[in-house]
Amino acid sequence: MDQYTIHGGTRLHGEVEISGAKNAAVAIIPAALLVQGVCRIENIPRISDTDTLLTILVELGARVSYINKSTIEIDCTGARYQDAPYDLMRKIRASYYLIGSMLGRFGNAKTTMPGGCNFGVRPIDQHIKGMRALGAQVDVKNGFVYAEALDGRLHGARIYLDKVSVGATMNIMIAAVLAQGRTIIENAAREPHIVDLANFLNSMGADVRGAGTDTIKINGVESLHGGTYSIIPDQIEAGTYMVAAAATGGEVLITNVIPKHLESISAKLRETGTFVEEYEEAVLVRGPEKLHRVNNLKTMPYPGFPTDMQPQFGVLLCLAEGTSVITEGIYDNRFKYVNELRKMGAEVQVDGRVCVIDGGHKLSGAPVHACDLRAGAAMVIAGMVAGGTTVIDDVHFIERGYERFVEKLNALGADITIDYDDGDTDRVSLSSVS
């Protein structure tokens, strides 16, 4: 099994550069299917989720090539509606964006129900509601989603989301860009990657307004043209290094970030006694000698505290003396990592969406499991602060979302080795991409 072995007890010191935002990239890549021409996309994170989506586009007839390590050109001019590699779609959550982009481009879509991390039930009813409002017939059968624009092309509509959903907001935006007439999404999500997707689409000739507020207006256009776009830095990757610096009592300058996107994370870190200084495109984080507990940490849609930082903070609060409470406001079941932390000596109780941490107990190395992407990152942080050796298995989850995680941490002074089953050293193969 693929594993990381971590020798704990090191403080992180130095500078780390953040990659492009995963959750922006995984929407922008499928959205490139709408464009007749070459999209040059800069600051693409090289992670397995983006690799999978690029491979799917290639199978649909796109030409994809790397210009340098983080710049890619995608030309979907020659893409055709055809069966896509369903085994790849099934692996990742973001394959749901292919419903919107294939419908917009071809008037037809067949995708698998999306995969991704398991946090309990993750329905896509709001995506389906949106596509139906735009004039598609949508059926879910045998694990597939079949969608067809009834008039051959989608029509603008007013759509109120019953639940604030990042995925549904972005999927409807993608589908509506080439629809006839105006679409209005109400109760839209406001995450930075939603603004990023809108900016990408607009730079290719779309007319999307209001992204970043709860009402997004999209005036359909006849076609999109090629162009150049640079993806924003990854808020969660940055937050993960911030917590890693705080937890290990180190000092790390985290560069290529937008400090405004990190505000809720910086504010909570300051409550723990961590020093956080913001610069124009960087943050400096210095861990305190003694971490303080926090009263109440609740995850919420942006600009609230992100659910994708909840497990990393769970580890941090295990190190702070006293009782801390975390409430998970987005998912039913995002505390699976707690069982793994208990193996390392953490004292934590979970009741539904609430987790009570009795902090201040020393963590000790143990064999643990990366239950999902962020839980895996949290276990890496736990391993770095624990005494002794921690072995984490199923690390492919971590590599879905963190570019060169081990390399970047080791450059900051961590002591982590990678063991892949097949002896490989770089899992992001991009075999189908020149």
In angstroms, give the least distance from the CB of 53 to ligand EPU: 10
What are φ and ψ of residue 347, in 5° steps? -115, 105
Instruction: For the segment 399-418, give every residue that binds ligand EPU (CB under 6 A).
Output: 401
In angstroms, give the least distance from the CB of 170 to ligand EPU: 8
- Is position 318 annotated as part of the catalytic site? no
Decide: is 385 part of the binding site for ligand EPU (CB under 6 A): no
Question: Alpha-carbon distance 97 to 104, whole Å?
Answer: 11
Among 32, 99, 371, 373, binds ligand EPU (CB under 6 A): 373
Decide: is 237 part of the binding site for ligand EPU (CB under 6 A): no
Decide: is 308 part of the binding site for ligand EPU (CB under 6 A): yes
Question: Alpha-carbon distance 385 to 244, whole Å?
Answer: 9
* Residue-wise burial string across 367-389, b where 16 or more C-beta atoms lie within 10 A, e elsewhere: ebbbbbbbbbbbbbbbbbbbeee
Nearer to ligand EPU, 192 or 220 (CB): 192
Decide: is 186 part of the binding site for ligand EPU (CB under 6 A): no
Decide: residue 64, CB within 10 A, 0-12 exposed, 13-18 middle, 19+ buried: buried
**Active-site position among 39, 76, 117, 371:** 117
Instruction: For the segment 288-307, give every residue that binds ligand EPU (CB under 6 A).
Output: 307
Instruction: For the segment 78-137, give every residue that binds ligand EPU (CB under 6 A).
Output: 93-94, 117, 122-127
Nearer to ligand EPU, 10 or 307 (CB): 307
Nearer to ligand EPU, 113 or 325 (CB): 113
Decide: is 312 part of the binding site for ligand EPU (CB under 6 A): no
Among 101, 165, 235, 312, binds ligand EPU (CB under 6 A): 165
Decide: is 76 part of the binding site for ligand EPU (CB under 6 A): no
In angstroms, give the least distance from the CB of 213 to ligand EPU: 16
How many Å is the Cα radius of gyration of the chain? 21
Stretch binding ligand EPU (CB under 6 A), from 165-173, 268-276, 356-364, 414-422: 165-173
In angstroms, give the least distance from the CB of 279 to ligand EPU: 25
Q: Distance from first CA to last CA of the chain, Å, rounded?
A: 29
Nearer to ligand EPU, 248 or 307 (CB): 307
Decide: is 172 part of the binding site for ligand EPU (CB under 6 A): no
Stretch binding ligand EPU (CB under 6 A), from 54-62, 80-88, 164-172, 255-263: 164-172
Decide: is 54 part of the binding site for ligand EPU (CB under 6 A): no
Nearer to ligand EPU, 163 or 270 (CB): 163
Stretch binding ligand EPU (CB under 6 A), from 66-74, 146-154, 159-167, 211-219: 159-167
Among 6, 25, 26, 179, binds ligand EPU (CB under 6 A): 26
In angstroms, give the least distance from the CB of 28 to ligand EPU: 11
Decide: residue 296, CB within 10 A, 0-12 exposed, 13-18 middle, 19+ buried: exposed
Contact positions vs ligand EPU (CB under 6 A): 23, 26, 93-94, 117, 122-127, 163, 165-168, 189, 307-308, 330-331, 373-374, 401
Q: Which residues are catalytic?
A: 117
